Structure 1
Amino acid sequence: MRTIHQGHLPVRTIVLIGMVLLITTRAYAQNANARLTLTLRNATLKEFTKMIENSTGYSFIYSEEISIKHKINLKVKEKPLHEILDLVFKNEAVSYQFSGRYILLQKKKKIKSVSRKFTISGYVTDGTSSETLIGTNIFESHQNQGTTTNPYGFYSITLPEGETSLRFSYLGYATETRQFTLSKDTLMDIRMQGNTQLQEVVVVSDRAEAGAMATQMGSIEIPMTQIKSTPSILGEADVMKAIQLMPGVQAGVDGSAGLYIRGGSPDQNLILLDGVPVYNVDHMFGFFSVFTPEAVKKVTLFKSSFPARFGGRLSSVIDVRTNDGDMQKFHGTFSIGLLTSKFNLEGPIVKGKTSFNISARRSYLDLLAKPFMPDDEKYSYYFYDVNAKINHKFSDRSRLFLSIYNGKDHFSTKFDVNTDYEDGTKMNWGNTIASARWNYIFNNRLFSNTTVSFNNYQLGIHSYTTSQFGGTTGKEVNRYSADYRSGIQDWSYKIDFEFNPSPIHRIKFGTKYMYHIFRPEVMTSKISDQANEQDGQEKTYHSINNNHLYAHEISAYAEDNFRINTRFRLNMGVHLSLFHVQDKSYFSFQPRISARYQLVKDIALKASYTQMSQYVHLLSSMPISMPTDLWVPVTKKIKPMQSHQFSLGEYYTGIKGWEFSVEGYYKDMRNVLEYKDGVSFFGTSAGWENKVEMGKGRSMGIELMAQKTIGKTTGWLSYTLSKSDRKFAKGGINNGERFPYKYDRRHNINLTVNHRFNDRIDIGASWVFYTGGTSTIPEEKTAVIRPNDGINNGSGGGWVIPYEPSFTNTSPTIGETNYVEHRNNFRLPASHRLNIGINFNKKTRHGIRTWNISLYNVYNAMNPAWIYRGHNKEGHGVIKKYTLLPIIPSFTYTYKF
């Protein structure tokens, strides 16, 4: 054999040879991910290798002793080469390995009868930014075992020693393969690179922790690409508006961000920001949410089959995870729209060790409207959000995350009727959330996350009146002011563990403690008089001064997601909780179970049962979210709400790039609250326990969904058939008869389509249709005759007779009142709406410039926000509707650098 030494060749030749080898290696590495369509029947190993060589350009190398026991029967369509090799050699004593332009075939090492097992673990991150990837799929082909990364990007899989082939896949990224001999516990961090073959398509969802492949049902991962491309009011991409397009989810008032999920009310949704509950998720009186899309990494919705780690609400869990920050380089976005401006900036503080991510948003209606307002009337409204996060990596086993969110709404009015009179109101409300999270890997099988958090929601209203007038002794000044405050504050500590003893078991357990401080209401008023420019007297009154309510909440959970066999998987768990308030304790045992059965290759069946408990209530009387809505806890009189939900589902994935599903559910609810007949909550919680009744509720429905997940055109079509009602004790609400829930809507259709024409133009559209909810409308006027003192009619309430205008106000006293036969007696008309948005993208020297033009309610459908009884021109009583949002155009400019 002749050896060529470096000195015998020119340096230029050596460089050229190296470049050719590098280009060839990269080219064949890309061919390994190329998709092939093959059909083979009773083929030999030689025939199979020949066909692969002709199709890919690879060459097989193997000795004469390499053989297969079974003839090859294969029919695949557009599968990667490594997956085809996995299928062919799955049940054979042959292993393969890529080496440049060659594929080496070798005999598999014999597995010992009693083999040792070792654990492979680590983090999966973006190869460019080092951002952790949630829900990455990890699959080992020899053992046919797999797992996924958790919400912090960590994975762990235990396998027998010997030849190991791990494949890491995440939509939008090139598949990473690691082949080696497993002989000890191994820490392996994976950095995944963006797949250039997928740059021209829009990826809708990776479906790793939710969807058809997950054991849970009723869980949906909503990708940020979909949220950002969904047209919305004034071009504001919104997390809650995107969730409203999912099956089983309804909006409240047209255009609002409220969520009514499977027959539940808005306070029955547990909304988490990096694991911390958010009580007020609305801006602009409910029409926008507090989540800035640029700060969000992933959103997961659970409608049923709730994992045991979640508790405290009946209807849904919305888990929002924010970006950790790029550890390698600085980049960001800046956006200007009709309503808001916002920016996002992220980058390394210490490269490879510490990163930051900060997002901020502010509306400027107050600034735009100010020049056009008259001098004697001033209105002002704006809101802002700030998200900030620091991510520090101590080591491969230890990471720290510090997060803070602050968001506020400000509304004010001021009237100067003349120089002698002035009054005004200032209203502020919002959240402050701070948390510290520490991830620690005890060993390759045990992962922990410890969180300490603070959450504060508060509302403050200040109103004042100043009047001046001349008196007998000179000018006098009277001042009146009132302050109204309410809120809720939480301190919490929790620790979560994830234990992976084997690939077929994924165990999670943990505990949590929360200290609640409820501040229902405090109202203080002051009156002062001043005469002849001398100090006068000031008096202070406390018209409402509810005591603070202190509550302790302790919970613990355990769940196991395990595989019984290749077809059958189970997730079983239990959530335990204890709530202590007013010297009374409530304990709840909440079992959870969900099952998935693979009927055939592309069809899966699922079933689940979930029990949930809720210890807080939201008092509200308005059809839209108002800052005066109050959170109150259970008390000695008011018991916790409970729900039992049963679900069944079928899923089909046989068409590439498509997912089809049908889910049915029945939910039974206990101790739900409704206001008694004739009373409601108007900005005061005083005596609220006497204004409400506890009763039963039920909800049932069928949800169908067809979704296209990959390609230039993506989107989904969903249809929901549902029913929801309430029932209270006889003598209480509606005389004990069952009545429809306020947002009982029988039919709901959502169509969402996104199409990418090329790198420069893409379009998004959504069309919704839903039948009307219900409302309580007086059917006729009646006259109430109340006897004078000393006259006893035996009922203490008088008689009700049909109202006639001829009655006069004589003894006994006669007064008008509304007559309503039953609760929610009127059904609103159906609503429908089309939204369209177009993005024009242009690459510049330093980034990407995007113009978005959107139309909300394209054909100006006059949908009812609410209805009321009024009069027509002839004076006859009619029912009228109020439309809140007509057609609204918008444009937004975004620069990504």
Structure 2
Amino acid sequence: MKIWRAIILSVVLAGCLYGASISGFVTDKSNGEPLPYADVYLDGEPLGSTTNDKGFYIIDGVKPGRHILVVGYLGYKEWRDTIEITSPAQKLKRNIALTPTVHIGEAIVVEARREGGEMDMLTGHNIVSQRQVQYTPQLLEPDLFRTIHLMPGVTAPSDFSSALYIWGGTPSQNLVTLDGIEVYNASHLGGMVSAFNVDAIKEANLIKGGFPAKWGGRIGSVLEIINREGDRKRIHGSGEVSLLSSKATFHGPLPGFMGSGAWLVSARRTYYDWITDLMARNIGDEDLKFPYHFTDFHTKLTRDFDNGDKIAATFYHGADVFDFVEDTDDGPDGLKFGWGNNTFAANFNHLFSPTHFGHFMAAYSEFKDYLEGYERGDVTDFF
């Protein structure tokens, strides 16, 4: 009994010495989506943190008394409130919803370098938001990889390629993930465009060096792409027709019987095969046909729980298809080949305590290619 009492007493004393903690989630007030990498700190005190990619934050070592908690995020109104810590062992949970706003600042002239060294920064870490990609001038349609080409340390091999050459590395040395799942082929049309529909993406985190050991096996860089979860308040839909493709995106809250959460569905398809086929028929020249198309499909289902837990399921399908098949009197004749990705992931976020956050994931990813020959209706599978 004495040993157990000593252990319990030491744990209590350690908690008192370490101080209280403040934790919670930071979300967008307009749609309920989590805000990753938001700044959370105590005003006038050397204590602070940032939210992780799931919007969770924690501040340890807070002394008893009144403090002003401040949350800041680019594009949102600053949030601040007075909190009171009553004991060194208190675990305060505070979820915060930020309101989107527009910041108009004045010109800043740097006249001298701050003394005392530079603040700690994430070297080689760039965050690209969906808004940045959409508002970047581009030729055919907004493209994630071509926006990343404008980042320092990233080189484009030519104007016709979206491949990422980062800090001297080749595209094969880069790791591309979608909601934590590795995507083996991240481009369409022979590398001209990326394989991700911008309307379905929330943001992308480019880590050009010094990435954690969990991304072992790659010597280039890591590109973490995060899908949007969808609006938890109301249903939205959008569509777009560009010179490259047509796409549509729908998202909204879960039906009432499923509880709190959101869903998202997004699809994109190029139509060069339809246009060239129509031109060939009108002109009477079969050589005008270009029997190629690509498609990609994103879907995500998220279920929220009152205790802060969350379950999310993500599915992605991308495919490139060349279809050199013609209908003859004896049946189809020609060649058809293609390739693409299929990924699926189930993510579970669990809040063990106000100071312990867990993330679990089960994922499946595959790259498939095929080659089929058609001769008088008979199909030959070469693979």
SS in 1 for 2:275: helix
**Residues 137-152 of structure 1 aligned to structure 2 (within 5 Å):** 137-152=39-54
Identify the residue that residue 170 of structure 1 maps to in structure 2: 73
Q: Where in structure 2 are the equivalents of 1:860-871 lying within 5 Å?
A: none
Alignment-derived partner of residue 443 in structure 1:
353
State the match for 2:115 in structure 1.
Answer: none
| Cα deviations by residue, 1:406-447 (Å, 9 ceiling, x for unpaired) | 11111111468x979984111121111111000001111111
1:193-232 Cα deviation digits (max 9, x unpaired): 1225559xxxxxxxxxxxx965431111122222112233
TM alignment of 1:38-117, pairs within 5 A: 117=19
Evaluate the alpha carbon distance shift between residue 436 and residue 214 of structure 1 in structure 2; reply closer, same or farther with a 3 A threshold: farther
2:46 & 2:169 partners in 1: Cα distance?
Answer: 41
Q: Give the structure 2 partner of residue 35 of structure 1.
A: none
- DSSP 3-state at the match of 1:297: strand
Q: 1:115 to 1:233 in 2, by over 3 A?
A: same
| Aligned residue in 1 for 2:292 | 381
Measured at CA, do residues 439 and 214 of structure 1 come closer, stay the same or move farther in structure 2, by a change above 3 Å? farther
Deviation of 1:482 (Å): 4.5
Which is bigger in relative contact order (C-alpha 8 A, separation at least 6)?
A: 2
Residue number in structure 1 paired with 2:112? none
Which whole-Å CA distance do the structure 2 matches of 1:182 and 1:188 have between them? Answer: 12
Runs (5+) with no aligned partner, structure 1: 1-113, 200-211, 467-478, 486-897
Q: Greater strand share, 1 or 2?
A: 1
**Partners of 2:330 and 2:233 in 1: how far apart?**
63
For 2:381, the equivalent position in structure 1 comes to 483
- CA deviation after TM superposition for structure 1 residue 480, in Å: 8.2
Residue 313 of structure 1 deviates from its aligned partner by 0.8
Letter of the structure 1 residue corresponding to residue 263 of structure 2: F
Is 1:368 the equivalent of 2:275? Answer: yes
Does the 8 Å CA contact 2:28/2:35 hold for their aligned counterparts?
Answer: yes
Structure 1: which amino acid aligns with 2:297? V
Superimposed CA distance per residue, residues 834-876 of structure 1 (whole angstroms, 9 cap, x where no aligned partner): xxxxxxxxxxxxxxxxxxxxxxxxxxxxxxxxxxxxxxxxxxx
Query: Of the two, which has the highest radius of gyration?
Result: 1
Contact 1:303/1:315 (<8 A) preserved: yes
In structure 2, distance between residues paired with 1:144 and 1:116: 15
SS at match of 1:280: coil
Gapped runs of 5+ residues in structure 2? Answer: 1-15, 106-117
Q: In 2, distance between residues paired with 1:375 and 1:465?
A: 23
Paired residues of 2:311 and 2:346 also in contact (CA < 8 A): yes
Name the amino acid aligned to 1:431.
Answer: N
Equivalent residue for 1:266, pick from 145, 155, 171: 171
For 1:780-804, what per-residue CA distance to the aligned partner results, in whole angstroms no more than 9, with x for missing partners? xxxxxxxxxxxxxxxxxxxxxxxxx
Return the alpha-carbon distance in structure 2 between the equivalents of residues 413 and 213 of structure 1: 58
Partners of 2:151 and 2:66 lie apart in 1 by 44
**Match of 2:382, as an amino acid?**
Y
1:227 to 118, 124, 133: 133
Q: Alignment identity in percent?
A: 33
Residues in 2 aligned to 1:155 and 1:406: alpha-carbon distance in whole angstroms = 32
Give per-residue Cα distances to partners, 1:145-164, cap 9 Å, x unaligned.
11000000001111122111
Task: Rate the CA distance shift 1:423–1:131 in 2: closer, same or farther, 3 A.
Answer: same
Does the Cα contact within 8 Å between 2:91 and 2:355 map onto a contact in 1? no
User: 1:434 — aligned with what?
Assistant: 344
1:315 corresponds in structure 2 to 220
- Corresponding residue SS for 1:355: strand
Query: RMSD between aligned alpha carbons?
Result: 2.6
Alpha-carbon distance between aligned partners in 2 of 1:259 and 1:243, rounded to the nearest angstrom: 8
Q: Deviations over 1:653-689 (max 9, x none)?
A: xxxxxxxxxxxxxxxxxxxxxxxxxxxxxxxxxxxxx
> Separation in 1 of the partners of 2:379 and 2:233?
54
Paired residue for 1:453, among 341, 363, 367?
363
Match of 1:217 among 113, 123, 136: 123
CA distance in 1, matches of 2:154, 2:254: 41
Paired positions, count: 348
Alignment partner of 2:172: what SS? helix
* SS of equivalent residue, structure 1 residue 410: strand
Name the SS for the 1:412 alignment partner: strand
**CA deviation digits over 1:457-481, x for unaligned, max 9?**
1001112445xxxxxxxxxxxx986
Going from structure 1 to structure 2, the CA distance change for 1:123 and 1:198 (only over 3 Å counts) comes to farther
Judge conservation of contact 2:325–2:374 (CA < 8 Å) in 1: no
Give the partner amino acid of 1:343: A
Residues 408 and 349 (structure 1 numbering): CA distance in 2 closer, same or farther, change over 3 Å?
same
Say which of 106, 110, 122 aligns to 2:24. 122
Between 277-286 and 214-223, report the one with greater CA deviation: 214-223
Partner of 2:7: none
Matches within 5 A, 1:13-28: none
Structure-1 residue corresponding to 2:190: 285
Q: Tell me: CA distance 1:400–1:465, structure 2 relative to 1, closer, same or farther (3 Å).
A: same
Tell me the distance in 2 between the aligned counterparts of 1:451 and 1:421: 47
* 3-state SS, counterpart of residue 429 of structure 1: strand
The Cα of 1:180 is off from its aligned counterpart by: 2.0
Tell me, in whole angstroms, the C-alpha distance in 2 between the residues paired with 1:381 and 1:456. 22
CA–CA separation in structure 2 for the residues paired with 1:189 and 1:421: 64
Distance 1:135 1:371, change over 3 A: same
Q: Secondary structure at the match of 1:366?
A: helix
For residues 119 and 330 of structure 2, what CA distance do their matches in structure 1 show? 71
- On the 8 A contact 2:21/2:355 being kept in 1, the answer is yes
Deviations 1:796-844 (A, max 9, x none): xxxxxxxxxxxxxxxxxxxxxxxxxxxxxxxxxxxxxxxxxxxxxxxxx
Give the Cα–Cα distance (whole angstroms) in 1 for the partners of residues 147 and 59 of structure 2. Answer: 34
Q: Is the contact made by 1:411 and 1:428 (CA closer than 8 Å) also made in structure 2?
A: yes
After superposition, the Cα gap between the structure-2 partners of 1:422 and 1:192, relative to the gap in structure 1 and judged at 3 Å, is: closer
Paired position in structure 1 for 2:10: none
Matched letter for residue 335 of structure 2: T
Q: How far 1:401 sits from its partner (Å)? A: 0.6
2:240 aligned to which of 320, 327, 335: 335
1:556-611 deviation line (CA, Å, top 9, x unaligned): xxxxxxxxxxxxxxxxxxxxxxxxxxxxxxxxxxxxxxxxxxxxxxxxxxxxxxxx
